Chain A
Amino acid sequence: MSQKYYLLRNREVADIDRMDVYLAHGGYQALKTALTDYKPEELVDLVKKSGLRGRGGAGFPTGMKWGFLPNDGRKRYLVVNSDEAEPGTYKDREIIEKNPHQLVEGIIISSYATKAREAYIYCRGEFLFGAEQLQRAVSEAYAEGFLGENILGSGFSVDLKVYRGAGAYICGEESALLESLEGRRGNPRLKPPFPAIAGLYGGPTVVNNVETITNVPAIVTYGAEWYTSMGTAKSPGVKIFSVSGRVSRPDNYEIPLATPLRSLIDDYAGGVLPGHKIKAVIPGGSSVPLLLPDKLDTPLDYESVLQAGSMLGSGGCIVLDDSVCMVGATARLVKFYREESCGKCTPCREGTYWMTDVLDRIERGQGTEEDLDTLMDIADNIGGKCFCPLGDASLGVLVSAMKFFRDEFEAHVREHACPMGAKLYDTVNH
């Protein structure tokens, strides 16, 4: 189970966030290699060959995304999505707080590959320390000649700015992020056109997640074949999983894709808390359906998790055990989407409001049999009927919980109380 870390490498090295320490540990060597040994197109090919897929949740092939940029002479932008806010996910925060230079190095290489002249890191508003760490790393990179004009004498120039969000989960959706970066409310845009054609300020734009970009220096250093030697043909490489909930050692674990879910929980995260049994697992952040214990042997790659009935998503793995009330847990997650709905689409704005209201009622023992049907009816009116994925995301856990744990919902109604004491749900309707 011992695994060499590439994305989380040097996490144990003190002051790895400082330029001198990062350089002493081989930092910015990949940048030098990229600028010296590769043409931009060759780097795009390298990333295509590696099979790297977007780590923000959607899993879209990164090299293909880069390849969509039109060759029409317009100024190109690279935007790095550091708006990590999917409940259960905390991998990008570790990278930007503890090892920001690794991300900055990845951004410079990716800018060179995509011929972006200007790059932005959109940093979640709550990540004040993260934004400070990034800002310092960017300043150090300018001082070292890794950013700005004619980087390392290569003739390539790029500027990088850190932009702070101000508290809005929806800005993790790439078109809402671009709206926010342009100084507007974070309402998602209609697609197409996709950002590659008309993104930031209308220009050709690549939007990539922090973890995605953090893979790039390692792929340059070790090669595409190294990357495809891990995982599966369709889901190659390594991925960081953020494990939390009812386990002994909650933490970020970087593992090859296709590692079984059971191994992540037992071998890495120390297993479910002593004396308890796993009831269900949310494998990929709060937006994905539950997996039951009979799916614990599912390999953690995009295809296998989908086949098992859920999604790999962001890799935010929340473990729920027999002490957890599924109604309360579901209510808590649905409330998140109520808080974070941008309000643009009626099904999402109103639906998440009413689902939270009904779930609250059931959890407090005031629900009726009819409420259970109402919940599914509201869900049916949200699914596939919203402008962006947030509405659908609010249904992942709810619909699967109603399917797998309907008896628990019914028990709440029948007993006019939460059979587990409603411990989890006391502040929901503030």
Chain B
Amino acid sequence: MKPEWNQWAREFKEQYPGANSALMPLLHRIQAEEGWLSDETIHDVATLFDLPESYVESVASFYSLFFRNQVGKKVVHVCVGLSCALAGSDRLMENLEHRLGIKEGQTTADGEYTLLEAECLAACNQAPVVQVNLRYFEGLDPERPDVLLESSKSPEEEVKP
């Protein structure tokens, strides 16, 4: 356990009438630092909340954005919702798989990228869309996956072709 986790847990707990409401904020905070939630992290968080490990695991495993396996530095979520599919998201996914040399659900050997499907990301007017570390890249050309990988160095900027 990192020394600051205890303090974060205390601060989050103070914000809510029910102590367990602080659980997801703490998991978010730790994952933002560590990149994912290891078994050890689940154990430590359970200790901080005086909860069974199984309880923390039940919460962490329910939500798709909590990663229980190690992920790359950049998590690429390709929206595969219907509106994005109509705009070529399957082709975009194929091209990304080819470009990164991995399949959806996998992480590159150098630990840089994890490629995942996302359900509708609520940007259907800009289809197809992708999130890199939850930052939007909109109105993409399915044949130009490199745009994502190059500009993901500065993920604050959205791609506007």
A residues with CB within 8 A of B: 84-90, 92-93, 118, 124-129, 161, 163-169, 180-186, 201, 242-246, 250-252, 286, 316, 318, 320, 324, 328-329, 332-333, 336, 339-340, 342, 423-427, 430
Q: B125: CB under 8 A from chain A?
A: yes
Q: B148: CB under 8 A from chain A?
A: no
* Contact B24–A251 (Cβ < 8 Å): no
Beyond A85-B119, A161-B15, A182-B20, whether A427 also contacts B83 by CB under 8 A is no
Q: Which residues of the partner chain A approach B131 to less than 8 Å between Cβ atoms? A: 126
* Contact A180–B134 (Cβ < 8 Å): no
- Nearest chain-B residue to A185 (Cβ)? B62
B residues with CB within 8 A of A: 15-25, 27-28, 58-59, 62-66, 77, 80-83, 85-86, 89-90, 93-94, 103-105, 117-125, 127, 131, 134-136
User: Once bound together, how far apart are the Cα atoms of A245 and B89, in whole Å?
Assistant: 13
User: Once bound together, how far apart are the Cα atoms of A251 and B18, in whole Å?
Assistant: 40
Beyond A246-B86, A316-B124, whether A166 also contacts B63 by CB under 8 A is yes
User: Once bound together, how far apart are the Cα atoms of A127 and B120, in whole Å?
Assistant: 12
User: Once bound together, how far apart are the Cα atoms of A336 and B63, in whole Å?
Assistant: 15
Q: Which residues of the partner chain A approach B118 to less than 8 Å between Cβ atoms? A: 126
* Contact B64–A182 (Cβ < 8 Å): no
User: Once bound together, how far apart are the Cα atoms of A427 and B142, in whole Å?
Assistant: 14
Beyond A125-B63, A246-B86, A424-B90, whether A430 also contacts B24 by CB under 8 A is no
- Nearest chain-B residue to A328 (Cβ)? B85
5 inter-chain pairs at a CB distance below 8 angstroms, sorted by A residue, are A92-B122, A164-B25, A183-B22, A184-B58, A244-B83
User: Once bound together, how far apart are the Cα atoms of A390 and B119, in whole Å?
Assistant: 15
Secondary structure of the A contact surface, majority rule: loop
Q: Which residues of the partner chain B approach A329 to less than 8 Å between Cβ atoms? A: 82, 85-86
Beyond A126-B65, A183-B59, A185-B58, whether A426 also contacts B94 by CB under 8 A is yes
- Nearest chain-B residue to A93 (Cβ)? B122
Q: Max chain B CB contacts within 10 Å: which of A89, A169, A426?
A: A426
* Contact A244–B125 (Cβ < 8 Å): yes
User: Once bound together, how far apart are the Cα atoms of A9 and B151, in whole Å?
Assistant: 32
* Contact A89–B122 (Cβ < 8 Å): yes
